[in-house]
Structure 1
Amino acid sequence: MDRVRKLSLSIKRSVIDKTIRENSELTSDQEKSDDTTEMKHPISSDHESKEKQHYKKSAQFSPAARRGSFSNTSKALDNKLLNLEDKFRRRSRSSSQACVEIKTAISNLREKSNRQERRKSFSELGFGKLESYDKLHKLGEVFIASCKEQGTYATVFKGRSKLTNDFVALKEIRLEHEEGAPCTAIREVSLLKDLKHANIVTLHDTIHTERSLVLVFEYLDRDLKQYMDSCGSILDMSNVKIFLFQLLRGLAYCHSRRVLHRDLKPQNLLINERGELKLADFGLARAKSVPSKTYSSEVVTLWYRPPDVLLGSTEYSTSIDMWGVGCIFYEMATGLPMFPGSSTENQLQTIWEILGTPTEEEWSGLTRNLKVNSLSFHDCKGEPLRNRAPRLEADGLDLLAKFLQYKAKSRISSADAMKHKYFDCFGPEVQILKDSKILFNSS
Structure 2
Amino acid sequence: MTSRYERQEKIGEGTYGVVYKARDTSTAATVALKRIRLDSEEEGVPCTAIREISLLKELRHENIVKLLDVCHSEHRLTIVFEYLDLDLKKYLDRENGNLDAATIQHFMRDLLRGVAFCHQRSVLHRDLKPQNLLISREKELKLGDFGLGRSFAIPVRKFTNEVVTLWYRPPDVLLGSMQYGPPVDVWSVGCIFSEMATGTPLFAGKNDADQLMRIFRFLGTPNNRVWPSMNQYPNSNNMLSQPEFLQNFEPEWSHVLGSVPGYEKLGRAGVDLLEKLLRYEPSERITAADALNHPYFSLQF
Same fold by TM-score greater than 0.5: yes
Residues 1:374 and 2:238 are matched in the alignment: no
Q: Mark the CA change 1:300 to 1:418 in structure 2 (over 3 Å): closer, same or farther.
A: farther
Which among 61, 71, 84 is matched to residue 207 of structure 1? 71
The SS at the match of 2:167 is: helix
Distance in 2 (alpha carbons) for counterparts of 1:354 and 1:186: 42
TM value normalised by structure 1: 0.59
Q: Cα offset for 1:155?
A: 2.2
Which residue of the partner structure matches residue 37 of structure 2? 174
Which moves more between the two structures, 253-262 or 208-217? 208-217
Residue equivalent to 1:87: none
Does residue 230 (structure 1) correspond to residue 94 (structure 2)? The answer is: yes
Q: Pick from 23, 33, 58: which aligns with 1:160?
A: 23
Shift in alpha-carbon separation, 1:218–1:361, aligned structure 2, 3 A: same
Using the size of structure 2 for normalisation, the TM-score is 0.85
* Deviation of the 1:177 alpha carbon: 2.7
Whole-angstrom distance in 1 between the partners of 2:151 and 2:76: 23
Go from structure 1 to structure 2 and tell me whether the alpha carbon gap of 1:176 and 1:360 turns closer, same or farther (over 3 Å shift): closer
Are residues 1:131 and 2:9 paired? no
Q: Show CA shifts across 1:298-336 (max 9, x none).
A: 999211111111112222421111111000000000001
**Change beyond 3 A, Cα 1:185–1:273:** farther
Where does residue 141 of structure 1 map in the other structure? 13
Q: Deviations over 1:342-400 (max 9, x none)?
A: 11111111111111101221112435742344323122113233122233211111111
**Residues 143 and 286 (structure 1), Cα distance of their counterparts in 2 relative to 1, 3 Å cut:** closer
User: For structure 2, which runs of at least 5 residues remain unmatched after alignment?
Assistant: 153-161
Q: Residue 336 and residue 228 in structure 1: after superposition, are their counterparts in 2 closer, same or farther (change >3 A)?
A: same
> Counterpart in 1 of 2:60?
196
What is the rounded CA distance, in whole Å, between the counterparts of 1:270 and 1:223 in structure 2? 4
Task: Tell me how far 1:193 sits from its aligned partner.
Answer: 2.5
Q: Partner of 1:262 in structure 2? A: 126
Q: How does 1:349-388 map to 2 (within 5 A)?
A: 349-366=213-230, 369-376=236-243, 377=245, 378-384=247-253, 385-386=256-257, 387-388=259-260
Q: Which SS does the other structure have where 1:366 is aligned?
A: coil
Corresponding residue of 1:40: none
Q: Are the equivalent residues in 2 in contact too, given 1:188–1:281 (CA < 8 A)?
A: no
Partner in structure 1 of residue 289 of structure 2: 415
Call closer, same or farther: CA 1:185–1:272 in 2, change over 3 Å.
Answer: farther
Within the candidate set 166, 183, 190, 1:319 is matched to 183
Secondary structure of the residue that 2:11 maps to in structure 1?
Answer: strand
What is the Cα deviation at residue 257 of structure 1? 1.0
| Code of the aligned partner of 1:326 | G
Q: Is the 8 A contact 2:163 2:206 kept in 1?
A: no
Quote the sequence identity (%).
49
Residue 406 (1) aligns with residue 256 (2)? no
Shift in Å, 1:188: 6.9
Alignment partner, residue 155 of structure 2 = none
Q: What is the RMSD computed on CA atoms of the aligned residues? A: 2.5
Match of 1:393 among 267, 274, 295: 267
Radius of gyration: which is bigger? 1
Q: Secondary structure at the match of 2:18?
A: strand
Query: Structure 1 402/299 Cα, relative in aligned 2: closer, same or farther at 3 Å?
Result: farther
Instruction: Describe how 1:340-355 pairs up with structure 2 within 5 A.
Output: 340-355=204-219
Q: Is the 8 A contact 1:263 1:299 kept in 2?
A: no
Match of 1:143, SS state, is: coil
Correspondence for 1:337: 201
1:162-211 CA distance string (max 9 Å, x none): 22211100112334432255779758724412311111111111122354
Q: Matched residues in 1 for 2:50 and 2:293: separation?
A: 34
